[in-house]
Amino acid sequence: MPRLSTKRGCWITLAAAPFLLFLAAWGADKLWPLPLHEVNPARVVVAQDGTPLWRFADADGIWRYPVTIEDVSPRYLEALINYEDRWFWKHPG
């Protein structure tokens, strides 16, 4: 009978290993998350009425302007998602 219990223990270990590996990776991600790259937007000098007077690129020479999703054309967003990934809305990342 000890042989049967050894076999069962082996199968239980093999079945539990992927779960434990996933749990360890998830825990490591929560304890030590990867740093997100901070994006500094371009600077804009505006008049009192809000019209832009002068614009400056960021430190990398890139023109980044903060926008909300409402500021972007829905047709552009649709084209972007179609180009990038058809599974965009179906997976977590």
Calculated CA dihedral for residues 84, 87, 89, 93, nearest 10 degrees: -80
Q: Is the pLDDT of residue 25 over 80?
A: yes
Confidence of residue 7 (pLDDT cuts 50, 70, 90): confident
- Between 51 and 92, the higher pLDDT residue: 51
Greatest Cα-to-Cα distance within the chain, rounded to the nearest angstrom: 87
The answer to whether the predicted template modeling score (pTM) of the entire model surpasses 0.85 is: no
Q: Is the pLDDT of residue 3 over 70?
A: no
Query: What is the rounded distance in angstroms from the CA atom of residue 24 to the CA atom of residue 93?
Result: 19
Reduced to 3 states (helix: H, G, I; strand: E, B; else coil), residue 37 is: coil
pLDDT digits (tens, 9 = 90+) for 26-74: 999 899 988 877 777 888 999 999 898 999 988 888 888 888 999 999 9
Distance between the two ends of the chain, CA-based, in angstroms? 48
